[in-house]
Chain A
Amino acid sequence: MAAIEAEGLRRTYKTTTGVVRRKSLEIEAVRGIDFQVPEGELFGLLGPNGAGKTTTIKMLITLLIPTAGSARVLGLDVVEQAHEVRKRIGYVFGGERGVYERLSGYDNLRYFAELYGVPPGEQRRRIEYLLEVVGLKGREHERAEGYSRGMKQRLHVARGLLHDPDVIFLDEPTIGLDPVGARDVRATIASLTEAGKTVLLTTHYMFEADALCDRIAVISHGRIVAEGTPTELKRGVAEGTVVEVEVFGGVDGALERVRGLGGVSSVAIEEREQAQVLVVQTGPGLELTQAILGCLDGAEVGRISQREPTLEDAYVALVTE
């Protein structure tokens, strides 16, 4: 039995525009996705903002009811058996919200331990243990409003693990953290699967997904566009080449011309200090540097380089298709 299963999962939101003449709109956030996560796996859900990652997680943790399709966690239906699902899952999201700022870190954990029915005799031991794990020991009696972003994030992780859940959902848990804070949280995540937990993780950081995830599903515009191990996803673009061209001045107009060149599989722009870098993925064995430069309309060009594709390139190619 898979720990997490989604079948034709779909979710639309209704919204309105206008003040006097109100118009009802239906937005499709998730357009029918299927995936399975076996027990003990760390599964990554990757996609740009608005791709449907958080909506998917919220359906799986029973906060949203799917418009169509079904989902099961540990064999339990997330709509019909929501109460049972909630007992066995943990949910951690990124950012500074979700904390009672006026309470101490310890009181925050105590409240959620009660909320999740952790037996009174075990609460203290469990809280002390998790404070050690997330590195908040010694600061637990300070009010959470004085915590740094990283400390709040680590408090989130401890909260999500209080009741020792079997399945843990992590929605961008390292967002906005400094490199050291993010590394600590990643180390904690890695230890979860070692303890036999099933983890569904969303992240924007490709190296994080590469380092942590057993398998990844790339989600774009509410659909899963690729699924596999990080190696398999990289292999999809591994035979091509990535050409990076540093350009000073606008390149927006050139984007469509480059995209129209034969053999180009994806084009993206990255901002690097004063320059914009045109990142072009080409098919195997093609030399398109001159053709790309020809599309730039005489714009001032800096460094030009070629390299092997990374997982990030695979991701960019998938979500810009």
Chain B
Amino acid sequence: MSSLRFVGVSWLLQFKMIMRSPFDGFGNVIYPLFFATVAFFVFRAGDSPRTLVYASLGAAVMGMWSSVSTSAGSAMQRERWWGTLELLVAAPRHFALVLLPATLGLATVGIYNLVATLLWGRLLFGIDLTIEHPLLFALSILGTVLSFGGLGFLFAVSFVRFRAAWVLGNFFEYPVWLICGFLVPLALLPSWVRPISWVLAPTWGMSAIRESALGGTPLPDLLLCLGLGAAYVAFGVLVTDRVLRAARERGSLSLT
């Protein structure tokens, strides 16, 4: 109960911090709209309303993913700069529990990205999105947010150990767009890429969102997405102690 309360309160405070940064705020408002615009122009050339809806949903999840992948690394880097990382490690809470709300907070910002992109598509490009299964659509978004948070958490654990690992966050941003089928169907990718796609929760989150919006069976995809998200968290928790011990042995916690 105490742990749940902690996650809730720290999620709220993390969210407060993110929303109070003018630069982060501006980036979060504008950045996804650029993705969406590029995607809409590219797919409009195809002249099929269904393709545009497909692209609209893909661009929306792209924004969500970018917010998590790039921010999870910089969030840890900021804790180092602020001198708070050591304070978090020196506290009695399990460090995994400290990291999780931070990445969940970032994933929550992703929901705005999704909504903003869909509205942008509706207002500027006239893409009329009719949601076939509204409840499952909402659940798919929630599941995708949680699994993104789980993946961001896994990134953040590595960022604690390796100071320069925040670069990896940026590195993973674009390949995931492609590998997880945000804009291009997985069937078009070489067959050796598919196993990589299958172990990435965004693939299933994206698929669940599309299936629920366009009419299909999103539940299996949603469950896979949540399962993988939970697996990332479990793996992250398992390695957290080892990562922290290594950082305490090397004396790298206070380094910026």
Which residues of A pack against B, CB within 8 Å? Answer: 11, 13-14, 58, 61-65, 83, 86-87, 91, 93, 95, 97-103, 107, 110-112, 114-117, 120, 143, 159
Contacts and interface: CB of A to CB of B under 8 A. Distances in A.
Contact of A114 (B5, B83, B86): B5
Contacts of B69: none
B92 A110 contact: no
A63 B82 contact: no
B89 interface: yes
Contact of A87 (B16, B86, B92, B253): B92
A73 to B, nearest CB: 12
Interface string B1-38: 01001100110010011001100000000000000000
Given A99-B82, A107-B13, A91 B20 contact: no
B45 interface: no
22 contacts: A11-B251, A13-B251, A58-B86, A64-B251, A83-B92, A86-B90, A86-B91, A93-B83, A95-B83, A97-B82, A97-B84, A99-B82, A100-B82, A102-B16, A102-B17, A103-B13, A112-B87, A115-B88, A115-B91, A115-B98, A116-B92, A116-B93
Query: Which bracket fits the contact residues of B?
Result: 20 to 34
Interface of B: 2, 5-6, 9-10, 13, 16-17, 20-21, 82-84, 86-93, 98, 245, 248-251, 253-254
B87 to A, nearest CB: 6
A89 to B, nearest CB: 8
Q: Ordered nearest first, which 3 A-B pairs have the shortest CB separation?
A: A97-B83, A86-B92, A98-B83
Contact of B248 (A13, A64, A86): A64
B82 to A, nearest CB: 6
A20 to B, nearest CB: 19
Contact of A103 (B2, B6, B16, B93): B16
B23 to A, nearest CB: 12
Nearest to B7: A114
B90 A61 contact: yes
| Chain A CB within 10 Å, residue with most, of B5, B6, B87, B245 | B87
A87 B20 CA distance: 31
Chain B at the A interface: SS class: helix
A276 to B, nearest CB: 35
| Chain B CB within 10 Å, residue with most, of A11, A62, A100, A107 | A100
Given A87-B92, A115-B6, A120-B5, A102 B248 contact: no
B90 A102 contact: no
A107 B16 contact: yes
B97 to A, nearest CB: 9
A87 B16 CA distance: 27
A87 B251 CA distance: 21
| Chain B CB within 10 Å, residue with most, of A13, A64, A115 | A115
A117 B2 contact: yes
A114 B9 contact: yes
A123 B172 CA distance: 41
